[in-house]
Each structure stands twice: as C-alpha cells, then as structure tokens.
C-alpha cells in the first residue's frame, strides 16, 4: 500500500476516541488474546497444584480421589503455559536468550527461571516420586508398548523395598512443601509482570500479584472440580460426594478471599481516584462493561459465591443431585469469570491511551495468531495432554498399588 493510502486509512478510520499517542493508534493492542491466555493457564497450574497440596501437605483425606488428577492437571497445563508467550514473540527463535543472557531486573526474565524451577524441580520430580513404585509394578505387569513406557519412566530405579518407598513418600512430601511457595511464586510473578508497569495505572498496583495468586487458586480448584466431574461421568462412576463437598468448601473460601482482595483493590481505586480515574470510569461503563461487570463480577464471583455459600450453610438439606449441579455450574462459571478477569487486566490495560485522554477499541478476530480460534486450540491442548496422561497414569485397568490411589469404597467408585 502506498504511504498516502496508508496515511488516509489511518486518519479516516481511527479505532479510538479522544487523543491517543500516535504509536498507540495501531490496529491491534500489542498484547492480544494470547497474552490473556498466558496468565489464565499459569493460574490453573498453580491452583491445581495448591489443590493437590491440600492432600499431601495438609492431609485433607477427603480429597484423596482427586490428588493425582490435580497433579496431572497441573502438569499438563504447565507444559502449555509458555506456548502463548512464545507464539506472541516477534522473534520466537530468540526465546532462549531469556534463559541464556537474562536481564535480572526484568520480571519476564526471572519468570523463565521460576517456570523452569517449577516444571523441573517441583512438579516433574514430585510426580515421579509419587508414581515411582507404581511404575515399577505396572512395568512388570503391563505388556507391550505401554509397559515399555512405564519402564522408561522408572528411569531404571526399580527398588521396591519398604525403605525405598518410604524415601519416595518423604521426598514427595518435601517437594510438595517446597511446591506451595513455588506455586505462589510462579503466579505471583505473573501478577508482578503487570503490577510492575508503573506507566499503566490499570496495571501498576501493589495488590496485583496477590489478586493473581488468589484468582489462580480459585480457578485451579474449579478446574479440578470440573475435571473430576467430567472424568467420573465419562467412566460412568458415581461421584464421591465427600470429596466434591470438600472441594466446594475450599473453592468457596478461596473465592471469599479472592473477592475480598479484588473488592479492596476497587474500593482503593475509587476512593483514591488518582490521575486517570475518569478514563477508568469510561472503561468500566463502556469498554469492559460486559467482561467486567457481567463476566468477572456477576458470573465469575457473585453467583458462585452465593451458590457455594448457600451450600456451606444448607449442605444437608440440599439433595445430592442438586448439590452436584450447583457445584459443577459454579465451577464452570468461575472458570469463565477468571478468564474474563484475565481479559479485563490484559486487554483492559491497553484499551486506553497512556496520555489518559483517549480510549481504543479491540475486536477479537477469528483467524490469525491472536485470533480466538488459535486461543481455542491453545486452551484445548492441555486437555488433550491431560487425557493422554489420565489414560496412561490413572487408568482403570491398572492395579491400584500404593501411594495416593483412592482408598475406601466411595473413592474406588470415583475412579
């Protein structure tokens, strides 16, 4: 296109109101839907891990049936967590420079190390210690390619003595204890990437890492509830109601803390009404009306809060079937609400000019790297990985051997 035509297009078809800096007047925000998915997926990783830690560290026996499922969920989402970031880069082929020559004052550089630590030192090792004894057993009894896979995963450590299994349990628990602050660090850091941008009043906020951690825990538990219900439905088993009720309880309390901190953030913003407050009002009233008021506040917070809260008070009076549906729907609504929250943070922060004099528009497109189809693929990928992992490591055909395989009648029905 000739410069004249380009200039005419830029001048005639502005996608903004008021005044925005000329470099902000491009057709799309710099960080699009992919960067919305990045904190969403990372949050699900951290949340699902915290859920698993409730069993391992805090000995919540009722949650035994979902321990391994939570760990596998966390792991499969972690494998995909950096993909949106990678696809978004202008030069993905240079991504390893982040690890090779990191700039230590950059939150994004340190995230690379936190991610690597979490993947290699925490999740992978903990899963291996948890599964090692079973892998040895399964590699002996399972024939064919599957057996070879189990044998490969043992990495040659086939010691089945009680001392070895005791060591597995001990190290696994130690890693789980280390894993909790690591999960907080992982997602707190994602929050810090946004919270540290002082140029942007929508992001630059000291509460941002805490808001991200709490919403991560909420979304992670909701995902585990969803996965557990879907898995039992697919396998035509009955749900262990003790487990589901306990998950709903933790989901409710995490949601209360999350809603309180986000509420505090808003109260502070409204009361302090600092520079840029009027542009924020425009955002809430117009640009982010549906995703913020409807998606994040009503669907993602208020309705689940009421539904799960009423279940805490009236659990015994609500029939099992209704309880299941209420918890399932609440979990789904929370998952949608947290996605809306990530959208509001990432896209919302780019819908107004840093001159604080104008707002830009954004329409999510279907095609392209930043399109919603690509987003859908990236969101489906962890579920594909999870399905494979569940087939391999949570199979009904495998003999229940040790560790955190569900105990008791109700739990056995669950898987």
Nearest distance, CB of residue 182 and other proteins, angstroms = 19
Nearest distance, CB of residue 85 and other proteins, angstroms = 8
253 binds other proteins per the rule CB under 8 A: no
The residue within the footprint of other proteins, chosen from 10, 284, 336, 394 (CB under 8 A), is 10
The residue within the footprint of other proteins, chosen from 57, 79, 83, 108 (CB under 8 A), is 108
144 binds other proteins per the rule CB under 8 A: no
Cβ proximity to other proteins: between 101 and 161 the closer is 101
The residue within the footprint of other proteins, chosen from 165, 210, 264, 357 (CB under 8 A), is 357
Nearest distance, CB of residue 276 and other proteins, angstroms = 10
Length of the chain: 415
Cβ proximity to other proteins: between 90 and 156 the closer is 90
**Binding map of other proteins across residues 222-241, x = CB under 8 A, - = no contact:** --------------------
Options 6-14, 173-181, 182-190, 311-319: segment touching other proteins (CB under 8 A):
6-14
* Ramachandran category for residue 236: left, alpha or beta (phi over 0 → left; psi -120 to 50 → alpha): left
The residue within the footprint of other proteins, chosen from 58, 59, 89, 395 (CB under 8 A), is 89
The residue within the footprint of other proteins, chosen from 17, 31, 242, 326 (CB under 8 A), is 31
To the nearest 10 degrees (0 to 180), the angle between helices 208-234 and 64-80 is 120
Nearest distance, CB of residue 9 and other proteins, angstroms = 8
User: What span, in angstroms and rounded, lies between the C-alpha atoms of 154 and 166?
Assistant: 16
381 binds other proteins per the rule CB under 8 A: no
User: What span, in angstroms and rounded, lies between the C-alpha atoms of 202 and 200?
Assistant: 5
Residue (of 75, 349, 44) closest to 193 by Cα position: 349
Q: What angle do CA 88, 335, 295 make, to 5 degrees?
A: 90
Q: In the window 336-355, what residues touch other proteins (CB under 8 A)?
A: 349-350, 353-355
Cβ proximity to other proteins: between 86 and 329 the closer is 86
Cβ proximity to other proteins: between 63 and 193 the closer is 193
Nearest distance, CB of residue 357 and other proteins, angstroms = 6
157 binds other proteins per the rule CB under 8 A: no
- Count other C-beta atoms under 10 Å from residue 271's C-beta: 8
**Binding map of other proteins across residues 257-286, x = CB under 8 A, - = no contact:** ------------------x-----------
The residue within the footprint of other proteins, chosen from 88, 269, 287, 324 (CB under 8 A), is 88
365 binds other proteins per the rule CB under 8 A: no
306 binds other proteins per the rule CB under 8 A: no
Options 18-26, 148-156, 180-188, 294-302: segment touching other proteins (CB under 8 A):
18-26
Nearest distance, CB of residue 35 and other proteins, angstroms = 9
Give the sign of the dihedral formed by CA 170, CA 172, CA 173, CA 179.
positive
17 binds other proteins per the rule CB under 8 A: no
Q: Which residue has the tokens 């210690």?
A: 129
Nearest distance, CB of residue 17 and other proteins, angstroms = 12
397 binds other proteins per the rule CB under 8 A: no
156 binds other proteins per the rule CB under 8 A: no
List interacting residues with other proteins (CB under 8 A). Answer: 1, 3, 6-7, 10-11, 19, 21-26, 30-31, 85, 88-92, 94-95, 97-98, 100-103, 105-109, 112, 193, 196-200, 203, 275, 349-350, 353-357
């Amino acid at each position: 296109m000739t410069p004249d035509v380009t200039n005419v297009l830029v001048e005639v078809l502005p996608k903004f109101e008021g005044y925005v800096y000329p470099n902000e007047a491009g057709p799309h925000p710099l960080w699009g839907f992919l960067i919305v998915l990045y904190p969403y997926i990372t949050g699900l990783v951290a949340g699902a891990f915290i859920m698993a830690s409730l069993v391992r560290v805090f000995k919540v026996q009722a949650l035994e049936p979902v321990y391994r499922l939570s760990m596998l969920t966390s792991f499969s989402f972690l494998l995909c967590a950096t993909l949106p970031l990678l696809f978004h880069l202008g030069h993905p082929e240079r991504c390893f420079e982040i690890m090779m020559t990191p700039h230590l004052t950059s939150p994004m550089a340190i995230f690379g190390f936190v991610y690597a630590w979490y993947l290699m030192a925490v999740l992978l090792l903990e899963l291996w210690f948890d599964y090692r004894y079973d892998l040895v057993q399964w590699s002996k009894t399972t024939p064919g390619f599957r057996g070879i896979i189990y044998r490969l995963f043992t990495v040659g450590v086939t010691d089945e003595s009680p001392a070895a299994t005791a060591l597995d349990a001990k190290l696994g628990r130690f890693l789980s204890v280390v894993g909790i602050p690591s999960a907080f660090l992982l997602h707190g850091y994602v929050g810090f990437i946004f919270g540290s941008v002082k140029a942007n009043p929508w992001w630059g906020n000291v509460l941002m890492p805490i808001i991200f951690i709490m919403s991560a825990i909420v979304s992670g538990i909701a995902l585990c509830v969803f996965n557990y219900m879907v898995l039992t439905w697919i396998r035509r088993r009955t749900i262990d109601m003790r487990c589901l009720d306990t998950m709903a309880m933790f989901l409710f309390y995490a949601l209360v803390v999350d809603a309180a901190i986000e509420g505090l953030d808003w109260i502070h913003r409204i009361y302090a009404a600092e520079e840029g407050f009027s542009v924020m009002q425009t955002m809430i009233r117009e640009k982010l009306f549906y995703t913020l008021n409807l998606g994040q506040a009503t669907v993602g917070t208020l309705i689940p809060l009421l539904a799960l809260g009423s279940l805490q008070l009236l659990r015994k009076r609500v029939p099992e079937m209704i309880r299941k549906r209420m918890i399932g729907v609440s979990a789904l609504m929370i998952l949608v609400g947290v996605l809306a929250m990530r959208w509001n943070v990432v896209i919302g922060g780019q819908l107004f000019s840093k001159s604080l004099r104008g707002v830009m528009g954004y329409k999510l497109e279907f095609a392209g790297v930043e399109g919603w189809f690509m987003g859908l693929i990236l969101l489906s990928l962890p579920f594909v990985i999870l399905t494979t992992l569940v087939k391999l490591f949570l199979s009904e055909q495998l003999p229940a051997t040790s560790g955190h395989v569900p105990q008791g009648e109700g739990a056995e029905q669950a898987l």
